[in-house]
C-alpha cells in the first residue's frame, strides 16, 4: 500500500474521494485544510482522519508517500514545496504553479530529492485518450497532419454557478475559477493528451482576451478566451481553444491522411473514439456519414460515474505514481510533463493581443502508452 494524504478539501477533493473507491494499493492517511469548518465537513462525510496542521499530515504521509495537493492554484507552489521538503512525492492539481520560475523550482527540487512531481490532469491515462493513441500507432487513419481541440464551456457568466456544489457541500469556487482563468484551468485537458502523443511543443502562437470581464464577479479576472496554435517538434500542428463564452464544445479532431479521428468530450474517460474515413465519389470529396467506433480490447482503467459535467477518474494519475513506486520505474505522470504543460499553458494564457511566437524551453518526450492500450479492436460501424 502507498500512503497518500490530501491537502485542500474543497470542491475537487470530493471528486478524488469518489475516484479513490475504484483505486487499489492506496492508503489514505488523512486530510488537512486551512479552513477548519470545511475540513470537518469533508472528513465527517468521507470518514477520513482530519489533521490540524499541514506538517502533521506531511509527517504522517512520510517519506515515499504521495501528497495530493488539491489547494487553490495560488497555494500550489508553497504546498508542493513543503511536500517535497518532507520527502513526499507530490501530485498537484493544475496548474503546477502560477509562475514559470516557481514551476522550474519545484521541478529542480523534485529532481534533486529523487522524488516524483506530477500535475493534473491525468485523463491522458484514461480509455478515450489511450484509444486515440492506439489508433494513431495502428495507422488506422494514416499520418496525422492537423489537430483541432476545443475546450469551450458555454456562456458561464450566465450559468447558475452560485448553486453548484460538491457532494459533501463545498461551493464551486467561482472567484478562483475566474481569477485563474479558463486557460490555466482547462487547457491541460487536451494539452496533456497532445504532449503525451506528440511530445514537446516547439512554438506557441496565441492570443488571449477578457471579453466578458464586466460580467464576472471579481475585480481581477484572467482572460476568458484564448486561441493557440501549437507547433510540435515532431511536426504536427494543433489549434487549441479555451473559453467560458462560446457554446459548449469539447471536441477533438485529429485530421489524418485517410480521415479524421474524433471524439466529443475531453471530460469523459469513456468518450467514444471514432474514425471518419474520407473518400472521393466521382467529382466530390466526402467524409463518411457513419464513423467507425474504435476500441481497445479487454479491461482498461476503472471508470467513475458522472458528477456535474465530468466523468473522469481523478485518481488515475495518483495510481500511476503508486504503481511506478512499487515497480521501481519512472512514472508516466512525469515532472517533465508537468513543467512543459505549465510553460505552454502560461504562454497561451498570457499571450494577450500582441505577443508573437513564443519558443518553448522545456521539453517532454511522448509518453509510453498504458500496457492495456497497445492494440486496437475495430468496432462496429
Ligand X SMILES: NC(=O)c1ccc[n+]([C@@H]2O[C@H](COP(=O)([O-])OP(=O)(O)OC[C@H]3O[C@@H](n4cnc5c(N)ncnc54)[C@H](O)[C@@H]3O)[C@@H](O)[C@H]2O)c1
DSSP letter (8 states) at residue 172: P
Which secondary-structure segment (H or E) carries 2? strand 2-7
Among 150, 152, 153, 185, binds ligand X (CB under 6 A): 185
Q: What percentage of the chain's residues is helix, strand, coil (to nearest 5)?
A: 35, 25, 40
In the block, which residue shows the cell 467507425?
A: 292
Beta-bridge partner residues of 91: 68, 118
Among 31, 80, 86, 93, binds ligand X (CB under 6 A): 93
Decide: 294 and 278 in contact? Cβ < 8 Å.
no
Does 170 help bind ligand X (rule: CB under 6 A)? yes
- Measure CA 296 to chain center: 22
Span from 3-11, 97-105, 208-216, 254-262 in contact with ligand X (CB under 6 A): 3-11
Q: Of residues 348-367, which lie at the interface with ligand X (CB under 6 A)?
A: none
Span from 108-116, 166-174, 242-250, 266-274 in contact with ligand X (CB under 6 A): 166-174
Does 189 help bind ligand X (rule: CB under 6 A)? no
Among 29, 50, 60, 75, binds ligand X (CB under 6 A): 75
Cα Rg of the chain (Å, integer): 20
Among 94, 107, 250, 301, binds ligand X (CB under 6 A): 94
How many C-beta atoms surround the C-beta of residue 62 within 10 A? 13
Q: Distance of CA 83 to CAs 45, 89, 132, 275, Å?
A: 25, 7, 34, 43
Decide: 123 and 312 in contact? Cβ < 8 Å.
yes
Decide: 95 and 76 in contact? Cβ < 8 Å.
yes
Closest distance of CB 316 from ligand X, Å: 13
Measured from the CB atom, is 46 or 275 closer to ligand X?
A: 46
Does 70 help bind ligand X (rule: CB under 6 A)? yes
Span from 129-137, 167-175, 228-236, 288-296 in contact with ligand X (CB under 6 A): 167-175
Q: Of residues 7-46, which lie at the interface with ligand X (CB under 6 A)?
A: 7-13, 32-35, 38
Beta-bridge partner residues of 69: 7, 92
DSSP letter (8 states) at residue 362: -
Closest distance of CB 106 from ligand X, Å: 14
Does 73 help bind ligand X (rule: CB under 6 A)? yes
Closest-by-Cβ residue to ligand X is 10
Among 2, 19, 71, 334, binds ligand X (CB under 6 A): 71
3-state secondary structure of 296: coil
Q: What are phi and psi of 358, to 5 degrees?
A: -115, 125
Half-sphere exposure of 100 (CA within 13 A, CB side): 13
Closest distance of CB 176 from ligand X, Å: 6
Among 137, 148, 159, 176, binds ligand X (CB under 6 A): 176
Measured from the CB atom, is 200 or 268 closer to ligand X?
A: 268
Span from 69-77, 104-112, 191-199, 239-247 in contact with ligand X (CB under 6 A): 69-77
Span from 141-149, 170-178, 234-242, 368-376 in contact with ligand X (CB under 6 A): 170-178
> What is the torsional sign of CA 38, 39, 40, 46?
positive
The contact set with ligand X (CB under 6 A) reads 7-13, 32-35, 38, 54, 70-73, 75, 79, 93-94, 170, 172-173, 176, 185
Amino acid at each position: 500500500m502507498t500512503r497518500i494524504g490530501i491537502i485542500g478539501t474543497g470542491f475537487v477533493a470530493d471528486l478524488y474521494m469518489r475516484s479513490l473507491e475504484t483505486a487499489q494499493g492506496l492508503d489514505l492517511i488523512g486530510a488537512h485544510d486551512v479552513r477548519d469548518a470545511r475540513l470537518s465537513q469533508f472528513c465527517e462525510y468521507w470518514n477520513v482522519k482530519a489533521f490540524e496542521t499541514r506538517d502533521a499530515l506531511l509527517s504522517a504521509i512520510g517519506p515515499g508517500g504521495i501528497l495530493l495537493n488539491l489547494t487553490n492554484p495560488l497555494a500550489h507552489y508553497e504546498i508542493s514545496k513543503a511536500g517535497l521538503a518532507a520527502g513526499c512525492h507530490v501530485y498537484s492539481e493544475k496548474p503546477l504553479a502560477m509562475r514559470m520560475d516557481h514551476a522550474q523550482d519545484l521541478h529542480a527540487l523534485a529532481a534533486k530529492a529523487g522524488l516524483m512531481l506530477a500535475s493534473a490532469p491525468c485523463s491522458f491515462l484514461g480509455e478515450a485518450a489511450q484509444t486515440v493513441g492506439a489508433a494513431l500507432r495502428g495507422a488506422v487513419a494514416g499520418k496525422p497532419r492537423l489537430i483541432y481541440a476545443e475546450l469551450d464551456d458555454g456562456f458561464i457568466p450566465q450559468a447558475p454557478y452560485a448553486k453548484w456544489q460538491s457532494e459533501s457541500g463545498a461551493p464551486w469556487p467561482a472567484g478562483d475559477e475566474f481569477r485563474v482563468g479558463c486557460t490555466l484551468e482547462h487547457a491541460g485537458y487536451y494539452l496533456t493528451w497532445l504532449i503525451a502523443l506528440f511530445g514537446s511543443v516547439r512554438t506557441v502562437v496565441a492570443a488571449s482576451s477578457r471579453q466578458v470581464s464586466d460580467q464576472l464577479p471579481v475585480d481581477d479576472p484572467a482572460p476568458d478566451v484564448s486561441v493557440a496554435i501549437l507547433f510540435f517538434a515532431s511536426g504536427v500542428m494543433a489549434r487549441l481553444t479555451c473559453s467560458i463564452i462560446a457554446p459548449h464544445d469539447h471536441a477533438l479532431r485529429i485530421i489524418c491522411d485517410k480521415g479524421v479521428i474524433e471524439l466529443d468530450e475531453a471530460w469523459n474517460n469513456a468518450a467514444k473514439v471514432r474514425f471518419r474515413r474520407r473518400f472521393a465519389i466521382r467529382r466530390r470529396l466526402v467524409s463518411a456519414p457513419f464513423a467507425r467506433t474504435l476500441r481497445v480490447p479487454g479491461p482498461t482503467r476503472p471508470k467513475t460515474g458522472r458528477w456535474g459535467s465530468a466523468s473522469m477518474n481523478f485518481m488515475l494519475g495518483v495510481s500511476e505514481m503508486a504503481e511506478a513506486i512499487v515497480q521501481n520505474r519512472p512514472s508516466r505522470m512525469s515532472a517533465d510533463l508537468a513543467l512543459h504543460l505549465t510553460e505552454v499553458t502560461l504562454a497561451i494564457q498570457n499571450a494577450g493581443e500582441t505577443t508573437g511566437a513564443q519558443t518553448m524551453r522545456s521539453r517532454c518526450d511522448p509518453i509510453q502508452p498504458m500496457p492495456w492500450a497497445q492494440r486496437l479492436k475495430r468496432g462496429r460501424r
